[in-house]
Structure 1
């Protein structure tokens, strides 16, 4: 016996309720807002937030993961999807919480966004340390998406945030701009990562003033918009935010820093609210040897900040992210980053990240095809039986000329093709009761029957329409829908609500059949109808019977379940009622009824 391969009929991941709930809960937890709706939208945008519409946009395609070079790569489709989705959602939620309003002018807005992305992600990581691996994986994916050996200064401001801890990445700016990048622009970029939210735009403007030429953002990089900024007040992580200076940072000369780039100590003396780290005698930032700098200091908070800083230093674990430590050698995982995306949270952290949906396992829906395939093949033989083959007979005046019969002097020396017969195709309309009373084994049998009809229609090339009805009716499977899409929709049928058969008849009678089709209406219900619904059904049937002479219609009511109490009602309405208990009963009933219809 040859076994057919299994076919996956599970809906796409972004159409599954578990993934949509997970994404919504994750964004609400990180952004601390419940007034946003989530939408999966295809296009050039990878992720973004529409501030006015309160909408989170995610591209279901996410990002292609390079084969090599990405840290924390789980190397499974489910694991990569989890890390990418969690990183993108946390990124957009971080803009809502920690970012100021994005400048409208370009290219100032683009440079601001490049600086703000890293600053905001560091603040999110302070609140949720287990997201450090997700941001590292997302950054590596975007860094390796379109690696370039040489970058102009403007695009280097963005790429440096991903490449600063990757010593194995060939990051390089043009030779003539090396001094400008290392001594003036790069210190400003790194300073913006630990600056106050209101100072990022000033640093971005200072960087633009230093650029020798303005370039356009690379089109290959995905669009991660920060339109959701400026929606929350200053957070505790910003007031107590430490500044870690990279050990490989070269401090610009004193005269360059005071030369009007808007980011030196002169701005601090004017009380602009901008943070600057304490400096040692040699003029370099002290890093972790001295007390971390402050963004904006509130009165009476100095002692509390020192206590918090001491607690942070005491409670730090090797699994927490220290983004400015020395980069590790190529091919080696940095010890300062968590070894697993789901790191254990430290005591006192508010909120726990929701768990992603489990990796999909073989579901009963995958094996369902093999349960219904045998019934479907038998039913397909009735839907499209073999017709009478054509044959050629001698004819007096028409057909193909036969010289041999003409030479013999036969009266009929022409041959004509006669006797070909093709059975009329069926147009199947299936109305499935999806009310709450159909829950459990009844709905499973009805779903199996719908899949069986869809499979048989594919074999016999007969058209099928599936209508689900409860209080209202909806078209689950329209005509001409491919088998794979029809199977995905039918496998997700759920039962809820009341029962109103008349709504399904309205949808079914609204369609028309082709002149050569035999229309068959199959109703699968548990037999419970209200009096008003029966009256509406009777009126619809009376209107439909007026056109039956030109378009015959056969109705097959199939009543499922043990407590079938509406048999008399269906006999009065449709003239037939077929009680069944399982898929086998439904298959036998359909084969018998369709055989009778075919023989008319």
Structure 2
């Protein structure tokens, strides 16, 4: 079964490092799971769970989300996950309780405490401000989409937490208790700056008494925005026991032992014992007993761990091309793997007893020894794709896109590093060797025509990086280059030691100049046979290489 993007080892290791940076609670059991609407922290059982799959806000509200990161849905989800991690870490630093009151009171306390605690976290980690603003705007967009910008003042407490400084969105009281909003708002904003958690509880009781909702039960519409009743509304022991069972399907199997990283998380750092506590100076950072210690900025390191690049979901173009090119990619992958010599049998004196008399008489009978052919060695692939305006003629850009997609997909199947650029008069980086597979395929599938043609800068960019192993370069162009560009390409080709597979999508008119620069080329006469020609070219090159 295919892993979800957040189950990638790099993502999970980063999330663990982020938790340690913001909380400095290495003794906590940290997990990613979609079983929670957002997240929760169980400070009694030392468990924190975050949902990495928060959906993007609805498109009509997306423009109102400030500090929205690049990277589409995955970029947003990764940034939102970091905000959740920092948020739950803040509870362990500033929320002096292991459980919340029951009913609506507990939800309102959670709403107020979330804002109070986040403001304290921003004092310690100033760079968190835009991240928490982004998360608040995203939550506000979801709330407004579901409930609207009005409603009673209890829902208003939540929406005002998200939008108190938003330039456009704001809570607009229109319920039966709308006349109470000025008083509720004053109590709410004072509680946000309260020095202690107990002040938050008192403020929540005042608001409920003012609105006549002292004994109401929890409201389901608030649950998705109260970090999963993060502080154990239903009792810490019972919920902690459930989570340790690994009962929620996708979370099971990802947790580590108490005080140790889960799978994909970092091992204990220097100076830590197996319990996850600091052993330097004989002091434990995370005993969980007595008064919690407040740590200053950068307690888990000088800078927050840099977010990794997540695997993007496949685009529609990428999915369509994958279906069309899968067979060709499999055949090309086999051709890209450099073959190794077969095992052979050679005469050897390594076994048995040497007979000098038989050796002198020329009748020695050496034993047969089987010799391995050796490993084939490393190969890497470099690809340059022409996206100049002339490629639109005769559907050349379609064939170039398809061929480039086939090549990148084949390299991924063969386990070969790929470096790819697209070029017109400028050079566009397309695929880096470290790129995630789906991100690389999406980039190739999105290729489209731009300006004029200039190949030599692309070759310089392609051949400058040092990569290990034999180099195979594929150049896909229509050959409509200037004389100076052809001369520069010829000079670069002469200095390059690897194999070059020049693919010409143009007419016979461009072929002589193209072959003077690059040697015999693969010309597209029949698009359906293009992959076959490239495979034949690679086979011939390998035969010369291993002859």
> For this structure pair, what is the TM-score category when the shorter chain's length is used for normalisation?
0.3 to 0.5
TM-score (norm 1): 0.43
TM-score (norm 2): 0.46
Greater RCO, CA 8 A, separation 6+: 2
Name the structure with the higher helix share: 2
